[in-house]
Chains A and B, each alone.
Chain A
Amino acid sequence: MKHTLAVLTENKPGVLTHISGLISRRDFNIESITAGYTEESDMTRITIVVDADDEYELEQVVNQLSKLIDVIKIIDLTGQDRVHRELAMIKVKALPANRAEIVNLVEIFRAHIVDVSKETMIIELTGEEDKIEAICELLNDYGIIEIVRTGKIAICRGPKAAKDV
């Protein structure tokens, strides 16, 4: 089962490699990993989606990560009331004949066209994973040239920050 972990760490070089190295050591698969600053400039928040076979495996991932001195806190967001998003940019073939159709699609998905050339368009979309999957599938018909995705980030609803729970 897939789990989304929010890992709060010191904002220091090497932390991200250390974390990903520790997870891969036991051959757990990291589905995605994203990192960025937070409301505190000396704190980084890393969102990791891991695939764990059972609760014991997940417990190991969390406990091993917790051992790192630079890890301040780990929160398992799985199953919590949360909002999660991913950003994708998709470069797709857009010949004049198809343009209108593509623009339509983009509107339906509330995506944006951020660049247009003679033969291509770049579409930007944020949303849950399946929304991104869905647009990709439709755009496939026109010919996708390139996709970049950021990986998932997630935040809990409610008044509290993760670091305070």
Chain B
Amino acid sequence: MKKMTGAQAIIECLKKENVDVVFGYPGGAVLTLYDELYLSDFPHVLPRHEQGAVHAADGYARSTGKVGVCIATSGPGATNLITGIATAYMDSIPLVLITGQVALSLLGRDSFQEADIRGITTPITKHNFLIKDVKDIPKAMKAAFYIARSGRPGPVLIDVPKNIFAEELAFEYPECIQIRGYKPIVEGDKAVIDAVCNELQSAKKPLFFIGGGVNLSDTSALMRDLVAYTGVPTVSSLMGLGSISSNDPHFFGMIGMHGSYAGNMATTETDLLVGIGARFDDRVTGKLEEFAPKAKVIHFDIDPAEINKNVRSYIRVIADLKWSLAELANKIKERPSEAWQKQFMPWHHQLVAWQKEHPLAYSRQTNRILPQAAIEKISELTQGNAIVVTDVGQNQMWTAQFYSFKNPRSLLTSGGLGTMGYGLPSALGAQVGNKHKKVVCICGDGGFMMNCQELMTIADLNLPVKIIILNNQSLGMVAQWQRAFYSGHYAHSNMATKADFVAISTAMGVPAIRLEHKDELDTVLREVMNSEGPCLVDIRIPEEEDVLPMVPAGSGLHKMIMGDWQ
């Protein structure tokens, strides 16, 4: 057994877990660890704010499917991670966070840069550890990675007191790990799959509803296969986008607050709603009593606590989707589909008709650039193959509506927490994890400002991220609500100083361009998308453009506010 220090041990564990990069920010409590990173030349990315580091690790994890790793110092370094941890927790993203802590002898005495990070992160981590003995490092690291990536993934935090980094241990990495209270579910009950098949076969208006779980469990291929074989109309949540191609003839878009007309109507009329890796968030369901009121609900999920949390299910399939979707596909293929497909053909036609009558569209005549048009153009230029990262607000919803996603894990967005400032750092993390893919970050002017310091990181690493600001010179989504529900009182949704983003960007080392004229949209975006390095485009869009359709919070999904042109 090799003798090494705690800091060396942590790096050794990272290597054992095949971690190829960490995102972090140094400080007193983690200096010993940083010295080891230096000596071992371990790949490290330095974002300009710890919130940037954790969102970057998150973007890396979402886009690659690997565990994102993030390091921060004690106290303020650690507390700066909170928003990012909560963001990852809500969207079930596997992260391992290593925080420095004051030395054990100083713990609990309000020492310099002390914060009870375990206490603070208890409700927003899947699990957390405080290392009190250097010998526990290998076991805790092994457990942290195992817990973060298995079952329903999530963030795990390891808090390491400063003195522990320097103490010595005889290093041995455990082969496997046994945790009494943690037995992630893999396989489910085969009899239940039979029951699901029977329900599918007798339904007249079946609907698949895909959630983020399909992206996270890498079961997009299984899902596509299932949809192709059964022909069952399919909708998705924001987090489910990309797991099935937006252009699939059986796909009818996103449902929920800004869902498509066809999708929301289908949800209201279906007699069998099959939720797959979805958690029935209130942004999806609208008023619970009016959600899928005619349907039996079948719920596929790896987390038993999701069953009946929001929507009562008639059949529950608790298992890893890798098991349950494969099992369902096998079972259903024993039954020739033509006959029973006939019985829901009228239903399929109905959805197509809804889609034709009320497409996602925009046709307001204006000589300004409309955000929807910009996103369609980006979609066209990248052929739906980019990794698209959004911020939060109107920019996020327009992207969800107008970008044609082709691949799983190609939309990175803060769905559960709705974290402004997520976009830019997450895009940088995604680009670090996907050197050869096109990464496009779409954000609003408000959210861009929240972590715009990461431009510098992007410039430093010369990451070819394309940053698109849909600049309506206001907090667009807030303003939209104020227009709709607060008599147009624009209370603090307008920023008085109109910052010059092109100047900010170039000052931080990222070339930038302003785009104001409709006739330049194609050429400028084409040039930017084909450019080598990073680039920012500040697109001026009309201030009063709304995201529509919209279901007012607390209404049934069928009560959509539509645009005149929809």
Contact = CB atoms under 8 A, between A and B. Distances in A.
A60 B307 CA distance: 8
A21 B303 CA distance: 20
Contacts of A67: 303, 305
Contact of A63 (B118, B119, B179, B307): B307
A18 B181 contact: no
B540 interface: no
Question: A17, A64, A67, A71: which has the most chain B beta carbons within 10 Å?
Answer: A67
Interface residues of A, number: 21
A59 B304 CA distance: 10
Contacts, number: 42
Interface stretch (B121-129, B258-266, B350-358, B479-487): B121-129
B179 A69 contact: yes
B309 A60 contact: yes
Given A17-B122, A21-B122, A25-B123, A69 B308 contact: no
Interface in A46-61: 56, 59-60
Contacts of B308: 56, 59-60
Interface in B469-497: none
A72 B307 CA distance: 20
A14 interface: yes
Interface in A2-35: 9-10, 14, 17-18, 21-22, 25
B181 A63 contact: no
Contacts of A10: 180-181
Interface string B80-91: 000000000000
A64 B119 CA distance: 18
Interface of B is mostly: loop
Contacts of A18: 122
B147 interface: yes
Question: B181, B303, B305: which has the most chain A beta carbons within 10 Å?
Answer: B181
B565 interface: no
A17 B118 CA distance: 12
B305 A21 contact: no
B182 interface: yes
Interface string A122-152: 0000000000000000000000000000000
B178 to A, nearest CB: 12
A66 B307 CA distance: 13
Contacts of A64: 305
B312 interface: yes
Contacts of B307: 59, 63
B26 to A, nearest CB: 28
A69 B126 contact: yes
Interface in A63-82: 63-64, 66-73
B180 A66 contact: no
Contacts of B118: 14
A70 B305 CA distance: 16
Contacts of A9: 181
Contacts of A17: 119, 122
A59 B127 CA distance: 22
Nearest to A73: B181
B305 A69 contact: no
Given A60-B308, A64-B305, A72 B180 contact: yes
Interface in B288-337: 303-305, 307-309, 312
Contacts of B179: 69
7 contacts: A9-B181, A63-B304, A63-B307, A64-B305, A66-B304, A66-B305, A69-B127
Given A25-B123, A59-B308, A70-B181, 13 more contacts: A9-B181, A17-B122, A56-B308, A56-B312, A59-B307, A60-B305, A60-B309, A63-B305, A63-B307, A67-B305, A68-B181, A70-B127, A72-B180
Interface of B: 118-119, 122-123, 126-127, 147, 179-182, 303-305, 307-309, 312
